[in-house]
Amino acid sequence: MTTTLPTPYYLIDEARLRQNLEIIQQVREQSGAKSVLALKCFSTWCVFGLMREYMDGTTSSALYEARLGYEEFGGEVHAYSVGFSDSDIQAVKGFADKVIFNSISQLQRYHAEVRDLQIGLRVNPGISYSHFDLADPARRYSRLGVRDLDALLAVAPLIKGAMFHFNCENDDIDNITAAIDRIGEQYGPLLDRLDWVSLGGGLYFTKAGYALDRFCALLKGFSERFGVQVYLEPGEAAITESAELVTTVLDVLHNEIDIAILDASLQAHMPDHLIYGTTPRLNAPAPGPHRVMIAGRSCLAGDIFGEYALEAPLRVGSEVRIADAAGYTMVNKNWFNGLPMPAIVVRRLDGTLERIRSFAYDDFKHSLS
């Protein structure tokens, strides 16, 4: 669908978003597991009104995310951080429901400050599922969570729950089944003493064709075996395929291959692809025989979206829609080169387009000093 809105802009489609949320709701009802939105993946709060109808709250990785979840989403607020500061603890204890520590040392240091809250501890089970070492929480020398069962049992009286976050884009039901079974066997003595357990995020259970019934039975069985409330922390699973980056071709040049320059930048506006060396898909134009490289307009030589084969050659003024531009994209965008930041637009459930936010020079200027 072509619009007359000036590009570039992120376009969030609430109807597509709701499809993911309805699957999350099905898992909630069928398994008894609660779901809290992982704000590290998606924090665009203009659609929280829809999302809160299907989810139980939010989970965060730092103070500002926790505060945003409290102020704009509601429900439960899970506050986790790899390292809390004194001022962080003073702030989060005023609005968090659960505070989850990354280490035993932080738990012991701040326990007295948050003893009236539900306190949790991150556990590193030593196993993981990730396509990228960069995102592997069980990589060598990982600082993420506690592995030693004896150490965990020693501090078990201080905690009510545990978080096992060890997946990244895991769509393999056999793998997650084996992993959860292993966690039950390895950490059973700890789990028997807890009230709740988060199995983290990175589980792609909203993927088409996913074995939902089996997944729900797995979660319910785990919950009943150990007498715990299970939590999931969907991020990407909640918003996958719900947004795109809408751009316009500014120039086309040739250097062995046609190169189309967009009014957006991979480095500035979809840096997650640059970080992981992945190529974004296109929603439009459609595929075809015409080979073209699509590039951003920053000065970074590697600011390249990718090489594509399209139905027609790109011209100045052609519209290009880059798929799946919500998760880890909008939260990572930046002001590199002082490029104009894409606006945020939402297609509401009734089909109307709402331009939520535009960014101007003053936003760039005041983000720096």
pLDDT of residue 185: 96
Condensed to tens digits (0 to 9), the pLDDT of residues 44-57 reads: 999 999 999 999 99
**Does the pLDDT at position 277 exceed 80?**
yes
301: which 2 tokens?
A: 């030589």
**Does the pLDDT at position 67 exceed 90?**
yes
pTM of the predicted model as reported, rounded to 2 decimal places: 0.95
Condensed to tens digits (0 to 9), the pLDDT of residues 170-182 reads: 999 999 999 999 9
Round the average pLDDT of the chain to a whole number and report it: 97
d(CA 339, CA 359): 10
Condensed to tens digits (0 to 9), the pLDDT of residues 282-336 reads: 999 999 999 999 999 999 999 999 999 999 999 999 999 999 999 999 999 999 9
pLDDT of residue 3: 59
- Residue type for 293, please? M
Mean pLDDT of 227-255: 98
Condensed to tens digits (0 to 9), the pLDDT of residues 258-274 reads: 999 999 999 999 999 99
User: How remote is the C-alpha of 39 from its chain's centroid?
Assistant: 6
Q: Which of the four pLDDT bands, split at 50, 70 and 90, describes residue 2?
A: low
**Structural domains in the chain plus CATH codes:** 15-239 (3.20.20.10), 243-325+333-366 (2.40.37.10)
pLDDT of residue 4: 79
How far is CA 73 from each of CA 51, 79, 81, 90, 165, rounded to the nearest angstrom? 8, 14, 19, 21, 22
Report residue 317: phi and psi, to 5°.
Answer: 95, -10
d(CA 275, CA 134): 9
**Does the pLDDT at position 218 exceed 80?**
yes
Mean pLDDT of 77-87: 98
